[in-house]
Chains A and B, each alone.
Chain A
Amino acid sequence: MILKLLENKRLTIGLLVVFMLIYPFLVGNSNYFMTLFVITCIYAITSMSLNLLIGYGGQISVGHAGFLTVGGYSVAILSSTVGLPFFLALPLAGIMTGSIGLLIGLPAVRLKGHFLAVATLGFGLSIPQIVLNWDGLTGGYSGLAVTKPLMFGSDFSLFYVFVVITVIITWLIQNIVKSSLGRAFIAIRDSEVAAQAIGINISFYKTTMFVISSFFTGIAGGIYGYWVGFVSPNDFIITNSFLVLAMIVVGGLASIPGSIIGAVLFSVIPHFTDSYIGITNIVIGIAVVLIILFKPDGIVSLFKMNKQKLVKPAGKGELLVQGGEKENANI
């Protein structure tokens, strides 16, 4: 019934807009629920970016939380140390994170599967250590304060700004996927040889993927910095990277709504479990296992009314295994 209603596009978009607008009032202007929503937005952006890389591009990254940290610190340094205004600092944070993404992306072009996983894992593990030790720039263990933008006096208006940014990013990523860029990514994911044969420059596109993905994740990190007003090395660690990875698989690979569903699910679970001692991770873990066992294409497959539209996720052997390598395996 509800699903039928949702077929009506205008109605649903209207609902969406209304929901976003009245959300703060729905929750009684509660700072906690607004924070929960913003954190969900941050994870939604991160998981969409990661999905762009993994789901559409077939490139694995297990260190995406590192980009969140870089984004957060960029905002902190740009706003507090340099003194840039909000509308400059946030995109710049994205660009700075994007350039780090470029650094990671360049060697990553040569790596695949587990080898890429280890390289990005190393990145995700190293960032907190580097931040901790680069006292002069990052303030070390004591973290950095972020100057909140003056033009949005209250958290209330800041909330709307971040919601708008999230919507814009969603729209952008959606368009990237449908553009020639996105089609090139998918072509590379499905077969590098075939992609090359039709004239796609593989190294270029692979690096671009990393840059785009880290750019958006950096902005998400920036949003975190601005919302909380403080960043520290422990904010986003390797377990957060794992969680984002779980979000996209559970939500649905190569699916933008899937990424958002995953992000929402894993951001909301702690709300219900945090007051019971020590079960949050168990619940999340069980959810991951059960959902993948019973809905291997992610939660989003539940809603696939017009399934032909969704790009199918990569099949076995495409994502992580270096095909054809086994024959020459050294034991």
Chain B
Amino acid sequence: MMRRIKLLLLPLLIFSLCLMAACGNGTAKKGSTGSQGTQGVTDNEILIGHLGPQTGPYAVYDYFRKGIDSHFKYVNENGGVNGKKLKLVAYDDQYQPSRTVKNATRILQEDKVFAMIGNVCTPCNTAARNTFEKSGIPMVMVSSGAEEFVNPPIKNYFGSSILNYRVETRVFLDYAANELKAKKIAVVYQNDDYGKEGLTALQENIDKYEGATLVDEIPYVAGETDMSSQAQHLDQADPDAIIVLGGPNPAANLKKEMYKIGLKDVPYIVSSVGANDRNQFKLAGDDIWEGTISAATFPMPDVSDDPSMKQYVERFKKDYPNDPIDGFAQSGWAIAEVMVEALKRTEQGGKDLTWENFYDAMHTFDNWDGSIFEGVTFTKDNHYGLTTMILTEAKDGKILPISDQIKFDPASGEITYED
């Protein structure tokens, strides 16, 4: 018995040695550790944190980080933010909440970053919310369109980098019922946060459109590669329009399957996460993806005349020559632009870079169009951030805007089209 216990000690000793080594490093590196709300800022550096999957099945979301990283490099090379360089601290959580919570305390209390930007993965964000919310660290545009982070507003959470799932789906429903005059609407949804939030919005709002019904609600599991049974269900339901709430691969796969069994002409509306990428033409096939309708918070790089977008394309190609410019990297760049603007606004008028001042600065964004995004808005009661969007259609290998700005008003729940 005693001998055994002795053996137990060895791992513990190793562990403690490792930790001591780690602590040593940690304390040596730590920057300023001033009073509450000013951590992570020194005279020449601001630390910004990001958590997301860099490996594993969801590693495609790592493009958020790459976009952020690229913009930070760009800003640093052009003088930084009021002379301070931005430094991105990022850890890999493999899309697993159990890893996120560990890294959340680490980034908050060991690295002591000033703010977090674009954290990926809804359940991971939920798991870490307790830690981040209590600390009061500014959370700039998490990469999840889930309702809980924006409504009701949380003091230190500011918006999402992707369209709010519910808002987006309501716009789709509006478009299908009013513009396409669809009566029978079918929805295919991923049975997680991507799909179910939007599904709720559909179910709550379908009655507002006279004659419109949800003829079928078809689920699939995230990561599904065989969409043939979903296509069969659609065939039987014979809808006037199909709304797909899910990621890029299933959206492409489903349309391929539909095409195969002859369902070629039904309007196909896909959530922005699953459609804002010209790669979809390659996945599904050029003919097949043609005509897909979606929403976006900014036009695609090739059809955009936004100066920010030009900057992005130029810079991202330089930093990551092997990576495609479409997809989440643009959003990463865009939220980094919002972050930089907010930091600048915080320090305007000689104010200190503190969390309270940062919140105030965030609240001054009023349909700000200085980033890739069409417009960014924050007020004390509105923490959605992205309430301005456009509709897009896939045409001839391009994803073209087919509407002007569409605005959602969180207070009244109204959708307004601008002409």
Contacts and interface: CB of A to CB of B under 8 A. Distances in A.
A234 B96 contact: yes
A143 B22 CA distance: 33
Given A234-B96, A264-B15, A309 B3 contact: yes
A28 interface: yes
Interface string A195-221: 000000000000000000000000000
A40 B15 contact: yes
B102 interface: yes
A9 B127 contact: no
A174 B4 contact: yes
A9 B106 contact: no
B123 A234 contact: yes
A141 B196 contact: yes
A12 interface: yes
A234 B102 contact: no
B266 interface: no
A235 interface: yes
Contacts of B148: 142
Interface of B: 1-16, 18-20, 22-23, 54-56, 59, 62, 89-92, 94-99, 101-103, 105-106, 108-110, 122-124, 126-127, 129-130, 146, 148, 191-193, 196, 221
B97 A234 contact: yes
18 contacts: A6-B9, A27-B19, A30-B109, A30-B110, A32-B108, A32-B109, A35-B105, A129-B221, A140-B191, A141-B122, A233-B123, A237-B96, A239-B94, A264-B11, A278-B55, A278-B62, A278-B92, A280-B94
Contacts of B146: 142
A222 B18 CA distance: 27
Given A32-B106, A35-B105, A264-B11, A132 B192 contact: yes
Interface string A27-39: 1101111011001
Complex A-B, nearest 10 residue pairs according to Cβ-Cβ distance, in ascending order: A257-B7, A141-B192, A32-B106, A232-B123, A32-B105, A261-B11, A9-B2, A235-B98, A31-B105, A274-B91
Query: Mostly helix, strand, loop or mixed at chain A's interface?
Result: helix
Contacts of A229: 130
B323 to A, nearest CB: 13
Interface stretch (A15-23, A185-193, A321-329): A15-23
B10 A6 contact: yes
Contact of A268 (B9, B10, B18, B54): B18
Contact of A33 (B10, B23, B98): B23
A33 B19 contact: yes
A13 B127 contact: no
Nearest to B59: A278
Given A12-B5, A274-B91, A303-B10, A32 B102 contact: yes
B126 A19 contact: no
Contacts of B55: 278, 280-281
Given A16-B12, A36-B102, A278-B54, A300 B192 contact: no
Interface of A: 2, 6-7, 9, 12-13, 15-16, 19-20, 23, 26-28, 30-33, 35-36, 39-40, 129, 132-133, 140-143, 170, 174, 178, 224, 228-230, 232-237, 239-240, 255-257, 260-261, 263-264, 268, 270-272, 274-275, 277-278, 280-281, 300, 303, 306, 309
Contacts of A270: 92, 99
A232 B97 contact: yes
Contact of B8 (A129, A140, A260, A309): A260
A165 B95 CA distance: 29
Contact of A140 (B99, B110, B196): B196
A277 B54 contact: yes
User: Which one of B8, B89, B126, B192 has the highest number of Cβ atoms from chain A below 10 Å of its Cβ?
Assistant: B8
A306 B97 CA distance: 42
Contacts of A35: 101-102, 105-106
A75 to B, nearest CB: 14
A195 to B, nearest CB: 24
B92 A274 contact: yes
A171 to B, nearest CB: 9
User: Which one of A2, A20, A32, A278 has the highest number of Cβ atoms from chain B below 10 Å of its Cβ?
Assistant: A32
B16 A19 contact: yes
A236 B96 CA distance: 8
A237 B130 CA distance: 22
B12 A256 contact: no
Contacts of A174: 1, 4
